[in-house]
Amino acid sequence: MIRKRRKKKIKLRHIVLILLLIYISVIMLNQKKLMRDLEARRIELQGEVNVLQKEIDLLTEKIENSDSLEFIEKVAREELGMVKPREIIYIDKGKLKNSFFNIFKRGTN
């Protein structure tokens, strides 16, 4: 009778040990999945940081060049519509599809 009881205790220890190993394995697998997800997120964010850094560099360069005559002339021509003295501007009507001038063209028809 003592032998049977001893065998049960050994089996119970084995079951507890197996359950503990299964629990640890599940935890390790979850940790591994979490690490993969975090690494993928880190790579994604690093890509965004690189893009933003390039944009910052471009804007910094624009700020540094904002005092140059070329930049001032570009802004005056493109944004303010200014022209140099005795300069003649030609407008190609074929390129004007959705332009301000087409409003007048439609209104006269």
pLDDT tens sequence across 4-30: 555 566 788 888 999 999 999 999 999
What ranges do the domains of the chain cover? 2-84
pLDDT > 70: what percent of the chain?
Answer: 79
Cβ–Cβ under 8 Å, residues 80 and 70: no
**What are the tens digits of pLDDT across the range 37-53?**
999 999 999 999 999 99
The predicted structure's pLDDT at residue 6? 58
Query: Which pLDDT score is estimated for 3?
Result: 57
User: How far apart (Å, rounded) are the C-alpha atoms in residues 55 and 44?
Assistant: 17
Confidence of residue 109 (pLDDT cuts 50, 70, 90): very low
Average pLDDT, the chain: 83
Burial of 71 by CB count in 10 Å (0-12 exposed, 13-18 middle, 19+ buried)?
middle
Per-residue confidence band for 79, with pLDDT thresholds at 50, 70 and 90: confident
> Is residue 72 pLDDT above 70, yes or no?
yes
CB-based contacts of 96, cutoff 8 Å, min separation 6 = 102
